[in-house]
């Protein structure tokens, strides 16, 4: 696993990453919403849900994040992104979930506890898993006619079998995300 040692700091976070088919479905929803919400649609290859946000850290501390993720014993679980929304305060249109699966909550808490125990400052805001579909969205245009408010939204469902550590950097074309670690969850059911 190679880590960039040229810069001094990196912005990092643990995340769930959709497979290609689900990324395509999410992107299609984003494009549909974009017609009424405008803004900037998230690139298909960067769609994700943040599990634990860490933020800017010194590069020499990356290894401890890679180490602490080893040995997480959460079983794989199904996830339903079934609730659209648009936050006016940061103009993010997102797909979230009406029900937080217990396994996802456990995975978040386990990871956050390890991150905190390793001496990193962790995000104090309540865990609110979501996939950002559009930034700079005109949330005021999300009327009842808009698919964003259909309840339930067309769910995007997948079996979470792993999680990743992502390093982000700002480039000319927006954020660039690099997966620097991937860890499998425990398989307790046959693959579908
Ligand atoms: P967002 O999509 O809602 O902005 C990379 O920036 C990832 O980390 C994104 O998923 C982003 O969420 C999330 N993120 C950025 N700052 C954060 C913070 N302070 N707390 C939690 N998540 C954050």
5-37: per-residue pLDDT in tens? 455 788 999 999 999 999 999 999 999 999 989
Q: Give 190 Cα–ligand 1 centroid separation in angstroms.
A: 33
pLDDT in tens, 130-158: 999 999 999 988 765 555 665 456 789 99
CB of 87 within 6 A of ligand 1: the answer is no
Query: What is the pLDDT, as a whole number, of residue 173?
Result: 72
Distance 63 CA to ligand 1 centre (A): 21
C-alpha 58 – ligand 1 centre gap (Å) = 18
Peptide bond before residue 152 is cis, with ω within 30 degrees of 0: yes
Tell me the average pLDDT across 46-52. Answer: 97
User: What pLDDT does residue 1 have?
Assistant: 40
User: How far does the centroid of ligand 1 lie from the alpha carbon of residue 131, in Å?
Assistant: 10
Catalogue the E-assigned strands of the chain.
9-16, 40-41, 49-58, 77-81, 83-87, 92-96, 131-135, 156-160, 162-171, 174-184
Q: Does ligand 1 lie within 6 Å of residue 13's CB atom? A: yes
Q: Hey, is 42 helix, strand or coil?
A: coil
Please report the pLDDT score of residue 171 as a whole number. Answer: 73
Handedness of CA 148, 133, 102, 57 (dihedral sign): negative
Alpha helix locations (H) across 38-132? Answer: 62-69, 102-117
Q: Is the CB of 168 under 6 A from ligand 1?
A: yes
pLDDT tens per residue across span 73-112: 899 999 999 999 999 999 999 999 999 999 999 999 999 9
Mutate to test the pocket of ligand 1, among 14, 52, 53, 81 (most ligand atoms within 8 A of CB): 53
Output the pTM of the full model: 0.90
Q: Is the torsion defined by CA of 19, 106, 64, 48 positive or negative? A: positive
Please give the structure tokens belonging to residue 119.
């001496």
């Amino acid at each position: 696993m190679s880590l960039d040692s040229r810069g001094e700091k990196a912005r990092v976070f643990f995340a769930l990453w959709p497979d290609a088919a689900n990324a395509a479905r999410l992107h299609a929803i984003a494009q549909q919403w974009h017609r009424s919400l405008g803004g900037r649609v998230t690139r298909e290859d960067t769609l994700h849900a943040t599990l634990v946000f860490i933020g800017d850290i010194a590069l020499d501390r990356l290894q401890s994040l890679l180490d602490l993720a080893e040995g997480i014993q959460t079983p794989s679980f199904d996830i339903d992104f079934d609730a659209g929304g648009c936050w006016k305060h940061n103009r993010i249109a997102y797909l979230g979930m009406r029900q937080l699966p217990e396994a996802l909550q456990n995975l978040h808490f386990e990871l956050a506890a390890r991150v905190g125990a390793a001496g990193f400052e962790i995000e104090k805001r309540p865990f609110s898993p979501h996939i950002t579909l559009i930034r700079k969205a005109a949330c005021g245009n999300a009327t009842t006619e808009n698919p964003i408010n259909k309840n339930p939204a067309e769910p995007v469902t997948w079996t979470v079998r792993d999680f990743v550590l992502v390093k982000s950097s700002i480039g000319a074309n927006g954020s660039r995300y690099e997966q620097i670690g991937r860890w499998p969850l425990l398989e307790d059911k046959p693959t579908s």
